[in-house]
Amino acid sequence: MSAAESIPFELRALNAEEVGVLLGCEARTVLERHACKPEFPKRIAIRPALWIASEVLAYRDTLKGGRRGRRR
């Protein structure tokens, strides 16, 4: 088991691509549309941009209807 696997998912640092998977969008959309919103979690690192998974999940839950995928 690697060190990363021993950390609970909610405490892991996620990059823009991983956040995009949770939000159902591309990494670029995370950086351009979500990360700039005041209600979006604060970054824990600038380069690469990293966020705490539990904070991103809480943000996702606040989105319209708790949407968990791409709009169709």
User: pLDDT tens digits, residue range 55-69?
Assistant: 999 999 999 765 555
Separation between Cα atoms, residue 32 and residue 45, nearest integer Å: 16
Cα torsion for 15, 20, 21, 25, to the nearest 10°? -160
Q: Is residue 69 part of a domain?
A: no
pLDDT, tens digit, 9 for 90 and up, residues 2-60: 776 799 999 999 999 999 999 999 999 999 999 999 999 999 999 999 999 999 999 99
pLDDT value, residue 32: 98
User: What six digits make up the tokens of 39?
Assistant: 């209600």
Domain that holds residue 35: 9-64
Instruction: Give the model's pLDDT for residue 44.
Output: 98
Tell me whether residue 57 is in a domain.
yes
Q: Report how many domains make up the chain.
A: 1
